[in-house]
Amino acid sequence: MMNENRVRWVGIQSEAVKASASGLLSRMGFLSVPGSRYLVFPGFCDVHVHLREPGFSDKETIRTGTMAAARGGYTTVCAMPNLRPVPDSVATLEQELAIIRRDAVVQVLPYGAITVGEKGAELADLAGMAPWVCGFSDDGRGVQDEAVMYKAMTRARELGKVIAAHCEDNRLLRGGYIHDGEYARAHGHKGICSESEYGQIARDLELVRRTGCRYHVCHVSTKESVDLLRQAKAEGLDVSCETAPHYLVLCDGDLQEDGRFKMNPPLRGPEDREALLAGVLDGTIDMIATDHAPHTPAEKSRGLVGSPFGVVGLETAFPVLYTALVRQNILSIERLAALMCAAPRARFGIPPDEGDYTVFDIFRPYAVRPAEFASKGRSSPFTGRLVWGRCVLTVHRGRVVYAANDARL
């Protein structure tokens, strides 16, 4: 039995190497070897992660964050700039790049900030940073000043770079921290209204019409946002968007009085989740990103009110979506592969690497256990959930960067 398994495993590996080297893997999106329990993908690409370094290495480091990526099947991640220092100039960006060169186990492409210090006032050195960044973002906060966003889009357009917008109108927040829906009302919590997101998307789409900027909306969470983006695409604007697994699988009805259910934007209502799914199915939503946002266990132990926003996602994204959507025949495996591999690479101009692939065992279910995460962050809304799809091997540029304990190499 042992021998038979070993032979099968070596067979899968050589199939993966052949398919990857010939370009077949990235063309097909995935490979299912007949009669085997393994699916092979060309390495997932997540355009929205927080690796917390430099500045917040008690939450995560480039090393632990990229090990978590490898353990989740990712070979490329794009790192958000809410760091200390914020990468808003060549000099500050270089500090982040130096750690990436030293410690990253998968490809990390940083975002440059849109504004100096992500303060929303003065434009960062977009032209200086352009050669090293995947795009520009002030993620963590919305750019409140329309004139600043207009200038940023004009500059990004000249540079041929994407603006990835965290859309949030601070005037509408009113101290909210979960969705302004049934759960908030029933349990006496302060809600964040949907308009704080879609209102700013509507403003930005008007700026896209005027500037022709390549525009990407981060973590879309409301039904109105999906409608706006569907119309914008029909109109021919150069727009794209992402959503995260938790918005597709959970809603405010799943909330518990626990910090692991607190993120920004918040889990919305059931009708929002349905609209996001429809958006994924009709192509309005282009890609899945995790918004992996680790904090220390102590920080996340303060309930819905006192915990900071953000949950981890790199090590659960594929199994959660495979289990909830593919196994339920809501989404095809081809479409999920495109959402996690080809689409983000195409939009952000990140070429696939022939030496990248990842192998998942889809045969045996298991429970999500944060204690096993490579990430320093342990706060996940999926803790304890039974899922199918376990990453057993991730190879980046021909080197094994993750292998499950029982993987036979």
Residues near Zn ion (CB under 5 A) are 139, 166, 218
Name the closest residue to Zn ion (Cβ). 166
Give whichever of 118 and 139 is closer to Zn ion, judged by the CB atom: 139
Closest approach, Cβ 219 to Zn ion, in A, equals 5
Annotated catalytic residue 291:
yes
Distance CA(38)–CA(218), nearest Å, equals 31
Amino acid type, 268: R
Closest approach, Cβ 171 to Zn ion, in A, equals 18
- Three-class HEC string of 119-179: CCCCECCHHHHHHHCCCECCCCCCCCCHHHHHHHHHHHHHHCCEEEECCCCHHHCCCCCEE
* Residues 6+ positions from 175 with CB-CB distance below 8 Å: 190
Closest approach, Cβ 138 to Zn ion, in A, equals 9
* Residues 6+ positions from 122 with CB-CB distance below 8 Å: 115, 116
Cα–Cα distances in angstroms (integers) from residue 209 to residues 215, 232, 237, in the given order: 10, 9, 7
Kindly compute the dihedral angle of the four CA atoms of residues 58, 163, 315, 93, in this order, to the nearest 10 degrees: -40
Give whichever of 36 and 264 is closer to Zn ion, judged by the CB atom: 264
Closest approach, Cβ 379 to Zn ion, in A, equals 16
Give whichever of 377 and 389 is closer to Zn ion, judged by the CB atom: 377
Give whichever of 15 and 138 is closer to Zn ion, judged by the CB atom: 138
Give whichever of 63 and 166 is closer to Zn ion, judged by the CB atom: 166
Distance CA(168)–CA(171), nearest Å, equals 9
Pairing between strand 366-367 and 239-243? unpaired
Distance CA(158)–CA(143), nearest Å, equals 19
Q: How many helices (H) and strands (E) does the chain have?
A: 15, 16
Distance of CA 18 to the CA centre of its chain: 29
Closest approach, Cβ 247 to Zn ion, in A, equals 12
Give whichever of 162 and 338 is closer to Zn ion, judged by the CB atom: 162
Closest approach, Cβ 51 to Zn ion, in A, equals 14
Catalytic residue among 272, 291, 353, 361: 291
3-state helix vs strand vs coil in the chain, percent to 5: 40, 15, 40
Q: Residue 310: which of 359, 344, 259 has the closest Cα?
A: 259
Closest approach, Cβ 292 to Zn ion, in A, equals 11
Cα–Cα distances in angstroms (integers) from residue 332 to residues 73, 173, 228, in the given order: 18, 37, 25
Question: Residue 163's CB: how many other CB atoms inside 10 A?
Answer: 27
Give whichever of 125 and 139 is closer to Zn ion, judged by the CB atom: 139
The strand pairing partners of 372, in sequence order, are none
Distance of CA 119 to the CA centre of its chain: 23
For the annotated catalytic residues, the residue numbers are 291
